[in-house]
Chain A
Amino acid sequence: MIEPAMIELMNLAADGTATSGERRRLDEYLSAHPEARSYYEALTRLVNRLEADPIPDPPAGFESRILDAIHRLPVPGPAPHEATPSSWRRGFFAPRLRPWSTFGLGLATGLFILAIVQYSRPGFWDAARDISPSDVSGSMTGRLVEPISTIPVETAQGTVSGSAVIYGRGTDIMVDVKLQSTIPVEWTVSFDPDAWSLDRVERHGTATSAFAASRGSVQGLHTGEGGVTLVFHGAASAAKAVVLKVLQGGEPVFEGTPSSTQ
């Protein structure tokens, strides 16, 4: 276990912003902790790769395109005169502000303060955190519909287990991916893009920490226990086209298709 303070120091050193004292402290720590040294080396490699990563320039003619758009606009001028503090005060306390509007303003302010006091109570936000995304969105859940097929997941090395369960109701399709992994893995759910369109992804817990989607597939990075729900729109019969893959270190360690499709 690497101390969090040392991870911060490693990042500062990788950016070249650590002081000489911090650098010395880090060097001492690294020489005594081999696992921290390999972490630091990996971090430095990543930073160097990012720094060296080229980004393509915009196509020729882009500058002219912007200038053409700008030259069609009216010439900008100084901003219109802004209200001064005295004019603000005059506006607020002006005689035309009627008593009922003053009362309304006071009531709104009171309610606002009350809301802040209420929301600041201990446990308020903790309670809110326990609400799952499906409860909030009111989306179709596994409790309400029967699964139409399942892909059980078990890798040969035993590092990853879980399942992908496909539910369907009319043209609403849901693929519930639940995994447990002891190491970082990447999963990919492939589907028939002509039959299904991805509506949204709902995350359950923090085990899956990043997503990407392309036509016909959704990918996620996963460590620990948890999962996501992929919500599609399309024909239930296309559930048989679903393929779940799990990759570890870039190499596939699991590939499965639905075991039974009704």
Chain B
Amino acid sequence: MSQVKDQNADAVLVRQCLAGDTRAFDALVRKYHKPLYHLALRMVRDRDDAMDIVQGVFVKVYQKLGSFDDRHEFFSWIYRITINESINFANRAKRSEEYQSGETAVLPASQEAARSAADLSEQIGNAIAMLKLDYRMVIVLKHYNDFSYQEMADMLGIPEKTVKSRLFSARQQLKEILTARGVTQ
């Protein structure tokens, strides 16, 4: 993650790209495509959808690169765009805050089925998919992208206190879902 947050290197690449060296943008794609895919995948739960979202984000960032203000952090900008695109996607697919639908969601598994690591990961993913989008977002940013409270606050445009409150409530709800499913005590 420290590599992702190497802000000076990003600013240099952006300037090089705007000066006509388009290979500099390739370096940004190489650096960010995996973490952004991880973020989108945990938000929308479908690999193809996550890839479409991330590709769309890079296209948008490339086209708007000239408007990027390098006094701000590039990673914060590109993550924010990915979050917005993921939310837009979820809303377009009628995955509103009170009803998140997905073909990948599965019926509750038995305790036996939850024992293997792969099944456990699937159970956790399904439980996260049941959270409302605000909660899902902070869980994903904190635990799958390793951002601090302050970084999440900057990215989401909300106070740090609100980030903490959402994160702690999201964990409580996640714990209840997993307990109800017998995945954890």
Interface residue ranges of A22-75 to B (CB < 8 Å)? 42-43, 45-47, 49-51, 53-59, 62-63, 65-67, 69-71, 73, 75
Stretch of A95-103, A119-127, A142-150, A181-189 on the interface side: A181-189
Shortest CB distance A44–B (Å): 11
Q: Which residues of B contact A78 (CB under 8 A)?
A: 18, 66
B143 x A50 contact (CB < 8 A): yes
A184 x B176 contact (CB < 8 A): yes
Question: How long is the Cα–Cα vector from A200 to B100 in the complex, in angstroms?
Answer: 10
CB of A198 within 8 Å of the partner chain: yes
Q: Chain B 1-39, CB within 8 Å of chain A: the 1/0 string?
A: 000000000000000011010100110011001100110
Question: How long is the Cα–Cα vector from A156 to B56 in the complex, in angstroms?
Answer: 52
Residue of A nearest to B113 (CB): A250
Shortest CB distance B95–A (Å): 9
A219 and B108 contact, Cβ closer than 8 Å, known pairs A54-B121, A77-B66:
yes
A213 and B99 contact, Cβ closer than 8 Å, known pairs A8-B164, A53-B143, A70-B58:
yes
Q: Chain B 45-72, CB within 8 Å of chain A: the 1/0 string?
A: 0010011001100110011111100000
Q: Which residues of A contact B172 (CB under 8 A)?
A: 7
A66 x B58 contact (CB < 8 A): yes
Q: Count how many chain A residues have C-beta atoms less than 8 Å from C-beta atoms of the other chain.
A: 61
Main secondary structure of the interface of A (DSSP, over half): mixed
B129 x A251 contact (CB < 8 A): no
Question: How long is the Cα–Cα vector from A43 to B185 in the complex, in angstroms?
Answer: 10
Question: How long is the Cα–Cα vector from A11 to B109 in the complex, in angstroms?
Answer: 28
Question: How long is the Cα–Cα vector from A229 to B59 in the complex, in angstroms?
Answer: 40
Q: Chain A 103-116, CB within 8 Å of chain B: the 1/0 string?
A: 00000000000000
CB of A249 within 8 Å of the partner chain: yes
Q: Count how many chain B residues have C-beta atoms less than 8 Å from C-beta atoms of the other chain.
A: 75
Q: Which residues of A contact B50 (CB under 8 A)?
A: 58
Residue of A nearest to B62 (CB): A70
Give the contacting residue for A58; candidates B37, B124, B129, B185; CB below 8 A: B37
A200 x B55 contact (CB < 8 A): no
Interface residue ranges of B100-134 to A (CB < 8 Å)? 100-111, 114, 120-121, 124-126, 129-132
Q: Which residues of B contact A92 (CB under 8 A)?
A: none
Kindly name the residue among A42, A43, A219 whose own CB sees the greatest number of chain B CB atoms within 10 A: A219
CB of A140 within 8 Å of the partner chain: no
Stretch of A83-91, A171-179, A204-212, A233-241 on the interface side: A204-212
Residue pairs across A and B with Cβ atoms less than 8 A apart, 14 shown, are: A46-B175, A46-B184, A49-B184, A53-B144, A55-B38, A66-B33, A200-B99, A210-B173, A211-B100, A213-B102, A214-B101, A219-B130, A221-B176, A247-B182
| Interface contacts beyond A70-B62, A201-B98: sample of 14 additional A-B pairs, CB < 8 Å, sorted by A | A11-B171, A12-B164, A45-B184, A53-B120, A58-B51, A63-B33, A65-B55, A77-B18, A185-B180, A186-B177, A212-B101, A219-B108, A247-B181, A251-B182
Q: Which residues of A contact B (CB under 8 A)?
A: 7-8, 11-12, 15, 17, 42-43, 45-47, 49-51, 53-59, 62-63, 65-67, 69-71, 73, 75-80, 184-186, 188, 198, 200-203, 209-215, 217, 219, 221, 223, 247-251
